[in-house]
């Protein structure tokens, strides 16, 4: 079977069988970060790989933005566990003819994101390669021993998302077309803001499960539901879908919100009696709105969309981004 038939998640399942089972109290493959026991506490450990031609195109990606994003996407995974990102290692694959100034700009972008969120690049490695590869590994601290996994959502819980969904995908479409008529959308793609502060507020309100939206809400909420053994029902009119006014883009905001990806918002579930208060606290302390978009159901694996209470087909098959099938 080829990788394109197996898919990214099929591959991960096979590799996971070869890495073995974690000891009691640890969590390895299958969530936003690994959870490790360490002397004096618990650590969150994650990695993300950005490959030229797959994740970014240097025709419209400035090196500062790429550096920012490489740090931001890892910080987003740490935040999705309710943690605070602390230190990163950066490994680069670089074409031999690359200008040193390009790599300095890349590191300036990383530094800007690190400074904003109180973390640092502590080391790494570099090698010759046929295209630019930026691999970041990151450690973070959870609040105490508590981490917020993908599993834990219970039927009846409220499904919430931070910020806006679909803006990064809209920005990418504009950049690809060479006409970023809405710089805010282009920025959503180039400089995503990881929801680190929001997670720090949210963890005091004890969400039942949490994930960051990297592949599109349909896909990522699907992962959360699969890990929790539940389903979810989302209200189309309740989703904070991107406003495309003035973008000159022929796209369905709802489809972008559900399947666009790279928004790096947080999606969490929480018992309904605590949802509004948690949302209000995040908004009051960070300025980021939190929307209550649906409910967890007992229909395991089923993601349903409704409009005014009536069932509505998902605009595109859920599945989001798969590295080997796309
Ligand atoms: Mg994630």
pLDDT in tens, 168-208: 999 999 999 988 789 999 999 999 999 999 999 999 999 99
CA 101 / ligand 1 centre spacing (Å)? 31
What sign results for the dihedral spanned by CA atoms 121, 150, 315, 293?
A: negative
- What Cα–Cα distance (Å) separates residue 142 from each residue in 17, 116, 138, 200, 321? 27, 19, 13, 9, 28
- Give residue 323's pLDDT: 54
Q: Please identify which residue in the block is written with the tokens 């490790």.
A: 36
Cα separation, 255 vs 314, whole angstroms: 8
CA 212 / ligand 1 centre spacing (Å)? 5
CA 194 / ligand 1 centre spacing (Å)? 11
CA 317 / ligand 1 centre spacing (Å)? 20
CA 214 / ligand 1 centre spacing (Å)? 6
- Give residue 1's pLDDT: 80
Q: Please identify which residue in the block is written with the tokens 């508590």.
A: 146
257 beta partners:
none
What sign results for the dihedral spanned by CA atoms 261, 42, 296, 230?
A: positive
CA 46 / ligand 1 centre spacing (Å)? 9
Which segments within 154-282 are labelled E, that is strand? 158-162, 209-213, 231-235, 265-270
Which segments within 143-225 are labelled E, that is strand? 158-162, 209-213
% the chain with pLDDT above 70:
97
Task: Identify residues whose C-beta is under 5 A from ligand 1, the ion.
Answer: 32, 77, 212, 214
Q: Which two tokens stand for residue 61?
A: 């990606």
Tens-place pLDDT, residues 223-261: 999 999 999 999 999 999 999 999 999 999 999 999 999
Q: Is 217 helix (H, G, I), strand (E, B) or coil?
A: helix
CA 204 / ligand 1 centre spacing (Å)? 20
CA 98 / ligand 1 centre spacing (Å)? 31
């Amino acid at each position: 079977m080829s990788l394109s038939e197996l898919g990214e998640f099929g591959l991960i399942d096979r590799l996971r069988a070869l890495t073995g089972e974690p000891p009691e109290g640890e969590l390895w493959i299958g969530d936003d970060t690994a959870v490790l026991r360490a002397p004096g506490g618990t650590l969150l450990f994650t990695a993300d790989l950005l490959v030229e031609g797959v994740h970014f195109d240097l025709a419209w990606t400035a090196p500062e933005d790429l550096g920012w994003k490489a740090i931001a996407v890892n910080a987003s995974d740490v935040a999705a566990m309710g943690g605070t990102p602390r230190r990163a290692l950066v490994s680069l694959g670089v074409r031999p003819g690359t200008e040193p100034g390009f790599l300095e700009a890349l590191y300036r972008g990383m530094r800007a994101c690190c400074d904003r969120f109180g973390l640092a690049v502590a080391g790494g490695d570099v090698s010759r390669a046929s295209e630019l590869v930026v691999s970041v590994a990151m450690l973070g601290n959870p609040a105490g021993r508590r981490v917020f996994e993908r599993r834990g959502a219970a039927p009846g819980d409220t499904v919430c998302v931070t910020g806006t969904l679909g803006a990064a995908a809209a920005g990418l479409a504009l950049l690809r077309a060479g006409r970023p008529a809405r710089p805010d959308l282009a920025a959503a793609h180039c400089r995503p803001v990881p929801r680190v502060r929001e997670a720090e507020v949210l963890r005091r309100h004890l969400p039942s499960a949490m994930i960051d939206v990297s592949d599109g809400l349909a896909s990522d909420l699907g992962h959360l539901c699969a890990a929790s053994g539940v389903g979810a029902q989302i209200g189309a009119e309740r989703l904070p879908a991107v406003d495309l006014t003035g973008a000159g883009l022929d796209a369905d905001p709802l489809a972008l919100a559900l399947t666009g990806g790279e928004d790096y918002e947080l999606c969490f579930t929480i018992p309904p009696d605590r949802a509004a208060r948690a949302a209000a606290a995040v908004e009051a302390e960070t300025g980021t709105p939190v929307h209550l978009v649906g409910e967890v159901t007992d229909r395991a694996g089923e993601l349903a969309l409704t409009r005014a209470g009536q069932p509505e087909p998902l605009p595109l098959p859920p599945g989001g981004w798969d590295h080997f099938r796309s």
